[in-house]
Amino acid sequence: MTTLSVLLFKGLYSQISVTLGFELLRGLERFLVDLVKIPQDTLNVTLDMSRLVFPLEFEEPVYGSTDSSFTEFMAPGVILTITYFMAVGLTALSFIIERKEGLLDRSWVAGVQSSEVMLAHLATQMLVMLVQIALILVFMFSVFQLPCEGNMIWVVLISILQGFCGMTFGLMTSAISNDENTAIMMALGIFYPLILLSGIVWPIEGMPTGLRYVSYILPQTYACNSIRAILYKGWDITYSTVYLGYLITTAWLFIHLAITLIAIRIRK
């Protein structure tokens, strides 16, 4: 029996590769059981069970290693998720607090534009966000020894873009909400859908078709694919898998800004 080589992508899709390996072995077991049940006089050749060898040979994975863990699959998504929601917390109550204290009304009377107020909040919280990102990346790569096959600059850039995207989402929730409770519920309400549907915990390929389409419109789905391709494949911005993450994140950033501006002008 001819030996077949099987290559698995364990570094990127650990759970999928394990499932594929299990299904291959189970299919082989069913085939051998059916084979030995066939009467040998009906076969063109004599079946010598002593020479029957295992036909599958699992070679080294194309990307990653054979001992990669599920933690390595989740780690890139965890980086972006922490970055995103820590940034949301910086701005989720900005307009609500200023509206209650009357600072927004004073700004409108003084002739300050809506875009200027929004950019001022982003500029003042940007330094805090950069410090948070720096701490996350230092712990992930220095303390937890997360591998990085690509250029670290692209990892930092996608993390910063996700941080700005989270800040603009926080501004949007504070501009739309009337009080702190509403803003907090909106921020927490998006947390679990992003974790469960963005390919962070479970690969998108393993989701039902309907949920897969929902996953594609979320701001972190393509970003997770981008950072995984950078860390484990060593790809750069020239690959579509990578630059789509940057484009989608930037698009969501401007969508949040546009909704925030509209909400502020309506409430003036």
Distances from the Cα of 34 to the Cαs of 28, 74, 110, 249, in angstroms? 10, 40, 84, 52
Q: Which two tokens stand for residue 256?
A: 């949040």
Q: What are the extents of the domains in the chain?
A: 4-58, 70-267
204 touches 189 (CB < 8 A): no
Whether pLDDT at 72 is above 80? no
Whether pLDDT at 162 is above 70? yes
Q: Which residue has the higher pLDDT, 246 or 205?
A: 246
- Which range scores top for mean pLDDT: 5-9, 152-156, 211-215? 152-156
Which pLDDT score is estimated for 253? 93
Which pLDDT score is estimated for 6? 47
Stretch 19-31: mean pLDDT = 75
Q: Which two tokens stand for residue 197?
A: 């549907």
| Percent of the residues in the chain that have a pLDDT greater than 90, as a whole number | 29
Say how far apart CA 173 and CA 42 lie, in whole Å.
Answer: 73
Q: Which two tokens stand for residue 192?
A: 């679990």
pTM over 0.85: no
Convert the pLDDT of each residue in 183-228 to its tens digit.
888 888 888 888 888 888 878 877 888 888 889 989 999 999 999 8
pLDDT band of residue 20 (cuts 50, 70, 90) is: confident
pLDDT band of residue 164 (cuts 50, 70, 90) is: very high
Q: Which residue has the higher pLDDT, 171 or 52?
A: 171
Mean pLDDT of all residues belonging to the chain: 81
Stretch 120-139: mean pLDDT = 90
Q: Which two tokens stand for residue 168?
A: 């603009």
187 touches 111 (CB < 8 A): no
Whether pLDDT at 252 is above 90? yes
User: Which of 11, 52, 14, 80 lies closest to 246, judged by CA?
Assistant: 80
The residues, ordered by sequence, that sit 6+ positions from 157 with a Cβ below 8 Å of its Cβ are 246
Convert the pLDDT of each residue in 73-118 to its tens digit.
788 888 999 999 999 988 888 888 888 888 888 888 888 888 888 8
Show the DSSP H helices in the chain as ranges. Answer: 14-37, 70-91, 94-101, 103-109, 114-138, 152-176, 180-189, 191-197, 209-216, 221-228, 240-267
The residues, ordered by sequence, that sit 6+ positions from 219 with a Cβ below 8 Å of its Cβ are 84, 162, 165, 169, 194, 248, 249, 252
User: Which of 205, 208, 211, 231 lies closest to 77, judged by CA?
Assistant: 231
User: Which of 85, 61, 70 lies closest to 200, judged by CA?
Assistant: 70
Q: Which residue has the higher pLDDT, 204 or 2?
A: 204
Q: Which two tokens stand for residue 60?
A: 């080294």
